[in-house]
Structure 1
Amino acid sequence: MMKPILEIQNIGKRFTIGHEQGPYLSFRDKITDLFKASKSKKENFWALDDVSFDVQPGEAVGIIGRNGAGKSTLLKVLSKITPPTRGRIISRGRMASLLEVGTGFHQELTGRENIFLNGSILGMRKKEIVSKFDEIVDFSGVEQFLDTPLKHYSSGMQLRLAFAVAAFLEPEILIIDEVLAVGDAEFQKKCMGKMNEVNKAEGRTILLVSHDMAAITNICSRAILLEKGNIKMQGSASDVVQQYLLQASKYTSSGIISAENASGTKAVKFTEIKLFQSENAEKRYVNSIATSGNVGFEVTLENDLPHHVKTYIAITVFDNRGNKLFTLDNLYTNQPLTLHTGRQTVVCVLQDLPLLPSHYFVNLWCSDGYETFHTVENAFKFEVEKSDVFQTGKIHNINQHGFFFVRNEWSAVN
C-alpha cells in the first residue's frame, strides 16, 4: 500500500497574546516602564489544536473556513515557515509554497537570479532549472524585466513569477494560499488551468487555501473545513463546500452584517442587507422568493468619513457550491451613489430574478473607485422556491435545467 505523501499528526500551534493594562502612555512613560515590572497580561491562543489528516500522492486538497479558522497558520506550519508547538509532520516529497507575495524571493536579486535561487532551494541541479527556464519566463510574462531587481516589480509581477517558479520547477507538493486573489482575472484563470494540469496530468499533490468555493470544487477532489483551529469536517470537496456555505447561513440569514469574513478600510461599511418584493407599491421583506419574481436588495451603509463620498457597490450572487452566478454593480451602469456622513440606505431593483429553486449566497463590496472600503463574504443567504412560472403544471429543476430561468416562446415557421 502506498504511503501518504503528507502525514499531519496531532498538530497544535500556540501563540502568546499580550493584553496591555492601564491608560494611554506618553513616549517618556513608555521609556520609564522599561525599567519597571511588566503590568501586561499574557494569554495563550491556540491557532491550531490537534489537527490530523493524511494527503495521498497526486491528491488535490482544499482547506476552507472563515477568517481566523487557522488555514494560513496550517500552511505555514506545513511549509516549515513556523514550527508546530506540538505534533509532527511527515513529508515524503519536495515542497514548494506560495503563501504571500514575495515569499521565498530575495528583493535585491533579479528575476533571473531568483528563479535559479528557488530551484536550488528545491534541490534541483542547474541543468534541470535551465530546462524549465523558458517556460517559467513565458508563463509569468516578465521577460522584459528579467534582469531587474525584484524590489522594482509590482505585486502582480512578483505573484506571476512566484507562481510560475512554483508550478514549473516540479515540486512533488505544491502549497498555495489565497495569494492568487492579488492577480487579475486573466492570470487567475491561467493559474487555475495550470493547477489542474499539474495535478491531473502530472500527478502532483496540491494543497489549496481559497475563499473561492468554485476554485475549490473545480480543482480539489477533497476538502477540509477548519473552525477555530480544529477540523470541523473533511470529505469530498463538493460536500464540504456545501456544508461550509450552509454553516455560514446561520450568520447571514438575518441580514445583519457580521464583522467576520469582512475586510477593507471600513471608512464606509455595510451594516445590513435585506431582500424585498414589491407588490402593489408595498415593500415586503423576505428570505425566500419564487423563480422569476420582481425583487430588490436593500443595503444599509455607514459612512464614517466627515464628508460626502462617491461610492460604488457590488452585490455578487453565488450558488450553494460557490459558483459565481452574476454581479449587480453600479460601476458598470455608471450610477455612482453619493453617500452623506452617517447611515444611509440604497436599493438595487431587479425586474426579473432568473434563478432556479435552490439556496444562494451574497457577497458585498464597496469602493470609491480607488480603495476598497468594505468587502463582506457570505453577507446574506436567500432561497428561491419552486414555482410554476408558465402556469403549465411543470416545475423547473436546477439539476436538469442549469442555473437560470430564461423566458422564452416557441412557434413553427416555414
Structure 2
Amino acid sequence: MSVILKAENISKQYRLGTVGMGTLSHDLNRWWHSIRGKEDPYLKIGGVNDRSLKASGDYVWAIKDINFEVKQGEVLGIIGKNGAGKSTLLKILSRVTAPSTGIIKTKGRIASLLEVGTGFHPELTGRENIYLNGAILGMTKSEITTKLDEIIDFSGCEMYIDTPVKRYSSGMTIRLGFAVAAHLEPEILVVDEVLAVGDAEFQKKAIGKMNSLSKGEGRTVLFVSHNMASINSLCTKIIVLENGNIIFEGNTKDGIDSYLQLNQNTGFTGVYNKKIENGSGIESLVIVDKNNKNRTEFGFDEVITIKCKILIEEKYLNAHLGFRVVDKSEQIIFTTEFKLSSKIDSAGVYSFIVEIPHKFLVPNTYYLNFGLHIPNVIMIDYLENCLSFQIVETGSDFHIYQGRDFGCVFVNCAWNEIAYPI
C-alpha cells in the first residue's frame, strides 16, 4: 500500500495568555529575522506541553517534532491524555491551522470532523449544509446530489433536514456532520473525540461506517478517542502522545497498554507501605501488570496482580489473609482469602501474590480493603481503601451499551441449544 499522508518534523508553538502569536515587538522581530533569511528566534524557546506544571516562559510547544506516515486503507488511532496535543495535531493535518515547523504531505481530499458543528453554517438548513460541505471538498453539485439520500438516511435526521442547523441538538449536528464527512468520498477522513456526543446506537453505526471505509473502500481514517473499545475494534495502528511528543507508534494492543500506563498516577493508589517494628501486620501492597510495572489503570482484558508482604508471629499462624473489592458506591463486589497455615509453618516475613482474572470486573473504579485476622476472634490488621484502580472499557461484549449499568462482574455462563422446545 502506498503512503497517503506523511508528517515530517511537525511542531506547533503557541504564546501563552494571548490571542495570536504575540506582541507587535515580537512580530517585528520575526519580520526582521525573516528578511535576513534567518530562523524565527522564538522557535528556539518554549516550554514543554505539560498542563500540570507552572509556565516557565511565554511560549509553549503544543506538539514538537512529530514524524509519522499513514498508508492507504490504514486506520490510525491517536490517543493520549487531555492536553497531550491530539486535537492540535489533527487541526494541522486537516489544514485548519498551520504548523510552526515541518511539512504535511498528502494525496487526495481530507474531510474533517473536529468539533460539534465543524464546517456547518448555523443559519443554513441541514440539506444546504450538505451541499456546502461537498463544495468545500471539491465535489460538484451533481456528485453531491447522488449521495444526498444516503447521507440523510445515515444521519437519521430526515425530519429536520430542511430546518436550520442552529436548532439541532449537539448529537443531531454530529450525526449529520459525520454522515457528510463519511459519504462525500474523501481519501482521508479525520475524526476527533466528537463521536462521544452521539448515543450508543449512532456510535456503533459510525464505527461500522469507518470500518467499511477503510477495509471495503480503501479509505484512510485518522481517529482520536478516549474510548479504548472503539480504538481497539477500529484501529490498525496507534500513536500515543504525551506532552506534545510521540512516545509510542505501533500496533493497537501495545499502544493501548502504553496509554494505560500513562494514567497510573491519576487519582488512584497503587502502592501501600507501612513499617512494622514488631508484632504482626501488613507491611506493603502493590498493584502491578503482566510486565511487573506499577499500574492503577487496566484494560478489561488484562489480569490485575497484587503483591502483599506481611510480618507474622507464631501465635497468629492460623490467621487468614484476604481482601475485599469494593466499588465507588461502597458495594462489596467479592471477597477472597486464604489461611496462612496452608502456605507457611513458622513466624517471619512473607510475600504473597494474587491475581484478579481478566474479563471479570466490569469497567468501573474499585477499591481494596485488606485484612489479616483470625475469623470471629481478632482483627490483627485492617486497611480500608488502601489501594484503588480503574478498569477501562477495551472491548467487552457489552461495550456497545456505553454508559449503561450492567452490574459488577461479567460471568461467562454456558449457553447451549436444547434439542426440544420447552
Question: What range is the shorter-chain TM-score in?
Answer: 0.5 to 0.7
Pick the aligned partner of 1:113 from 128, 138, 141.
Answer: 128
CA distance in 2, matches of 1:358, 1:199: 29
Letter in 1 for 2:214: N
User: Is residue 66 of structure 2 the alignment partner of residue 51 of structure 1?
Assistant: yes
CA distance in 2, matches of 1:112, 1:321: 46
CA distance in 1, matches of 2:84, 2:241: 6
Which string of whole-angstrom CA distances, capped at 9 and with x for unpartnered residues, describes residues 279-298 of structure 1? xxxx9996669xxxxxxxxx
Q: Give the 3 Å change call, closer, same or farther, for CA 210–90 of structure 1 in structure 2.
A: same
Pick the aligned partner of 1:347 from 330, 343, 347.
Answer: 330
Pick the aligned partner of 2:205 from 186, 190, 201.
Answer: 190
How high is the TM-score relative to the length of structure 1?
A: 0.61
Contact 2:360/2:411 (CA < 8 Å) preserved in 1? no
Higher CA-based Rg: 2
Q: Give the 3 Å change call, closer, same or farther, for CA 348–128 of structure 1 in structure 2.
A: same
Any residues of structure 2 matched to 1:97-176 within 5 Å, and which? 97-176=112-191
User: Is residue 245 of structure 2 the alignment partner of residue 230 of structure 1?
Assistant: yes
Contact 1:13/1:86 (CA < 8 Å) preserved in 2? yes
Shift of 1:18: 2.9
Which string of whole-angstrom CA distances, capped at 9 and with x for unpartnered residues, describes residues 107-143 of structure 1? 1111110000111111111111111100100011111
Q: Which residue of 2 aligns with 1:211?
A: 226
Provide the secondary structure at the position in 2 that maps to 1:193: helix
CA distance in 1, matches of 2:167, 2:211: 31
Letter in 1 for 2:330: V
Q: Which residue of 1 aligns with 2:389?
A: 380
How high is the TM-score relative to the length of structure 2?
A: 0.60
Provide the secondary structure at the position in 2 that maps to 1:69: coil
CA distance in 2, matches of 1:317, 1:224: 19
Shift of 1:217: 1.4
Provide the secondary structure at the position in 2 that maps to 1:171: coil
Structure 1: unaligned runs, 5 residues or longer: 20-40, 257-282, 290-315, 323-344, 366-378, 383-402, 409-414
Shift of 1:247: 3.3
User: How many residues are aligned here?
Assistant: 281
CA distance in 2, matches of 1:359, 1:43: 48
Contact 1:64/1:225 (CA < 8 Å) preserved in 2? yes
CA distance in 1, matches of 2:362, 2:98: 37
Q: Which residue of 2 aligns with 1:319?
A: 300
Which string of whole-angstrom CA distances, capped at 9 and with x for unpartnered residues, describes residues 329-358 of structure 1? xxxxxxxxxxxxxxxx95121147996258
Contact 1:68/1:228 (CA < 8 Å) preserved in 2? yes
Shift of 1:191: 0.7
Shift of 1:242: 1.3
Shift of 1:144: 1.1
Q: Give the 3 Å change call, closer, same or farther, for CA 107–284 of structure 1 in structure 2.
A: farther
Q: Which residue of 1 aligns with 2:7?
A: 8
Q: Which residue of 2 aligns with 1:341?
A: none
CA distance in 1, matches of 2:155, 2:132: 17
Contact 1:213/1:321 (CA < 8 Å) preserved in 2? no
Q: Give the 3 Å change call, closer, same or farther, for CA 359–237 of structure 1 in structure 2.
A: farther
Contact 1:362/1:380 (CA < 8 Å) preserved in 2? no
Q: Give the 3 Å change call, closer, same or farther, for CA 244–321 of structure 1 in structure 2.
A: farther
Identity, in percent, stands at 51
Shift of 1:246: 2.7
Shift of 1:380: 2.3
Q: Give the 3 Å change call, closer, same or farther, for CA 159–196 of structure 1 in structure 2.
A: same
Shift of 1:407: 8.0
Q: Give the 3 Å change call, closer, same or farther, for CA 79–87 of structure 1 in structure 2.
A: same
Any residues of structure 2 matched to 1:232-381 within 5 Å, and which? 232-251=247-266, 254=269, 318-320=299-301, 347-351=330-334, 356-357=357-358, 363=364, 380-381=389-390
CA distance in 2, matches of 1:94, 1:46: 28
Shift of 1:239: 1.1
CA distance in 2, matches of 1:49, 1:65: 15
CA RMSD of aligned residues (A): 3.5
Letter in 1 for 2:152: V
Q: Give the 3 Å change call, closer, same or farther, for CA 86–317 of structure 1 in structure 2.
A: closer
Provide the secondary structure at the position in 2 that maps to 1:233: strand
Provide the secondary structure at the position in 2 that maps to 1:84: coil
Shifted more, 351-360 versus 208-217: the winner is 351-360
Letter in 2 for 1:7: K
Letter in 2 for 1:10: N
CA distance in 1, matches of 2:331, 2:196: 27
Q: Give the 3 Å change call, closer, same or farther, for CA 139–381 of structure 1 in structure 2.
A: closer
Q: Give the 3 Å change call, closer, same or farther, for CA 99–82 of structure 1 in structure 2.
A: same
Provide the secondary structure at the position in 2 that maps to 1:90: strand
